[in-house]
Structure 1
Amino acid sequence: MHKTYITPKAQTHIWPASGQAAEHVLMYIARDTRGCHLDGADQLNRYPATPFCCITWMLEGEVSLLQQGETKLEQHLPQIFVAGCQSQYGVTINLGDRHSFMAVFYSDAFHTLFELDLTTLQDRFVDAREVLNPSGLALLQAVALADTHTDRRSLIESYIAHNSSFLLSSPWSRLRKMGQNLSLRLSCSLLGVGARQLQRRVRKEAGLPLLGLSRLWRAKRSHSQVLSDLALGQTPNWVEHADALGYADQSHLIRDCKEVSGRSPQQLLNDARKNESDWIYRL
């Protein structure tokens, strides 16, 4: 009798943050390609530009950064790395099998929790052990040594609860929710600074210039809406979608999508349905 061997599929799991932590952490992502024998383009990971800061623990395997926007790179990434806010889309490659855990933080919460000037992290991937404060370093180690992803999420949310007094005073939660409706005057008022100081503070505490943040927050809402429509069996009507999400018109939506992902909305939708490398766009 011949044995039949079934090659497992790459596994991606996503968990929203719970309770109080949901104000500060967007989600957690686990990616596991062990035993899947991925090769060629399937070893790639394509990422959009993002207003979030992420910590990734490579529990097994290694990854290298290959591209940011149109710029080709070759940067081997550390075992535990921080990705600051990204103004450009990017591509990494798995060096063999991968098992990783990622925490995706709202950038302003990341700034407050780990006492980091986010201008130093914009468009960068850095060793987390070289930039986090002492309490952050202890968290890195605890998460790396945890037995399960449930334990990892619990450790991060306990850390946030312990530091909640620093986070509650931040005006950024309200600013995030307002998104593309932000104005210079309102932002100055909520942050308590003048127009001259605003951009410096925004970049330091939220990682990107105000207009860049607003554009990427809108792109995130656009992406979430498309996923919601698809889950209901609805094919996106890009004209209606652009109007509902606050774009000037469909051409504006297409231009923004190309800047964020390198592709038009329809190209991205088609690629995400069939390409293993676009797994993050399916989340």
Structure 2
Amino acid sequence: MHKTDISTKAQTHIWPASGQVAEHVLMYVVRDTRGSGLDGPDQLNHFPASPFCCITWMLEGELALVQQGKAERDQRLPQIFLAGCQSQYGISGNIGERHSFMAVFYADAFHALFELDLSIVQDLFVDARTSLNLQGRALLEAVALARDDAERCQLIESHVAQYASPLFANPWSRLRKMGQNLSLRLSCSLLGVGERQVQRRARKEAGLPLLGLSRLWRAKRSHSQVLLGLGQGHTPNWAEHASTQGYADQSHLIRDCKDISGRSPQQLLNDARNRESDWMYRL
């Protein structure tokens, strides 16, 4: 576990998934603003477009979705909500003090574990208790009643281990690891279907169209490399970074970053260093 914070009291705790479960679950995130006195813009939560499916348990407090891309939203989110894969960046707002636990799943694993057609939750935030299969709904309630975060992680990992057998032959795990090298021809070969079927299966089983997935998988690796470099004391050279991460050039990197976060890489880096509301970009 590690934590990241800017304010002296608002806390973000992160656990990576363990063992073989890490093939299917990226991480667990706890956000706790109790006693922090956050107000105004610090009560917001900026988030990027994402190729992941996330379940969030609001243990205390509530959230409202206020923006997706450039469009305003006004949606009070359920106490246990599922965020499908997101093709746009967005903003949510805390309603009161917040204590939440989030599990971040690879989308293809989420589809297989919970038997959900991901195309129907793309870009949506829905009540998880009405979206998952019977076993998934039992997991939601068990996690909500758990004593602490360690037990919450253990419950999810036990569930994944119990129902992971369909995942071992899942070609999507191989495809997502290939990232920027992903092509329609290769996807057809690995999935054993034609081009139209690949696109349908991509949205149903992996959450987004094939091109969108490839861009977001690349962006996730790019983001991880920036965080790794910062942790080692290195200031990003964006031209070099673009070259090593599979972008055509720095302009390509900037365009993608703006599509995914609403900001250029340098703007995003500056904001994440200085704004409490950009805590998610520090993960």
Q: Is the 8 A contact 1:12 1:29 kept in 2?
A: yes
Distance in 1 separating the partners of 2:277 and 2:94: 10
Distance in 1 separating the partners of 2:13 and 2:129: 25
- 5 Å matches for 1:46-65? 46-65=46-65
Larger radius of gyration between Structure 1 and Structure 2? 1
Q: Is the 8 A contact 1:8 1:35 kept in 2?
A: no
Q: CA deviation at 1:8?
A: 4.9
Distance in 2 separating the partners of 1:50 and 1:154: 25
Distance in 2 separating the partners of 1:84 and 1:161: 22
> Counterpart in 2 of 1:42?
42
Q: CA deviation at 1:93?
A: 0.2
Does 2:143 align with 1:143?
Answer: yes
Distance in 2 separating the partners of 1:270 and 1:25: 29
Q: CA deviation at 1:99?
A: 0.1
SS in structure 2 of the partner of residue 233 of structure 1: coil
Does 2:226 align with 1:217?
Answer: no
2:212 maps to a residue whose letter is: G
Q: CA deviation at 1:184?
A: 1.0
Distance in 1 separating the partners of 2:206 and 2:173: 11
Q: What is the count of residue pairs matched by the alignment? A: 277
Distance in 1 separating the partners of 2:168 and 2:241: 34
Distance in 1 separating the partners of 2:196 and 2:93: 41
Unaligned runs of 5+ in 1: 1-6
Q: CA deviation at 1:168?
A: 0.9
Does 2:226 align with 1:229?
Answer: no
Does 2:19 align with 1:19?
Answer: yes
Q: CA deviation at 1:231?
A: 0.4
SS in structure 2 of the partner of residue 45 of structure 1: strand
Does 2:43 align with 1:9?
Answer: no
SS in structure 1 of the partner of residue 53 of structure 2: strand
2:67 maps to a residue whose letter is: Q
Distance in 2 separating the partners of 1:164 and 1:25: 11
> Counterpart in 2 of 1:160?
160
Unaligned runs of 5+ in 2: 1-6
SS in structure 1 of the partner of residue 60 of structure 2: strand
1:273 maps to a residue whose letter is: R
Q: Which runs of 4+ in 1 moved over 3 A?
A: none
1:239 maps to a residue whose letter is: A
Distance in 1 separating the partners of 2:164 and 2:253: 37
SS in structure 2 of the partner of residue 247 of structure 1: coil
> Counterpart in 2 of 1:121?
121
Distance in 1 separating the partners of 2:26 and 2:191: 22
Q: Structure 1 residues 188-197 or 95-104, which shifts more?
A: 188-197
> Counterpart in 2 of 1:132?
132
- 5 Å matches for 1:237-276? 237-276=237-276
SS in structure 2 of the partner of residue 93 of structure 1: strand
Q: CA deviation at 1:165?
A: 1.0
1:166 maps to a residue whose letter is: P
> Counterpart in 1 of 2:4?
none
2:44 maps to a residue whose letter is: L
Q: CA deviation at 1:169?
A: 1.5
Cα deviation code 1:134-163 (max 9, x no counterpart): 000000000000011000000000001101
- 5 Å matches for 1:69-218? 69-218=69-218
Distance in 2 separating the partners of 1:8 and 1:248: 40
> Counterpart in 1 of 2:3?
none
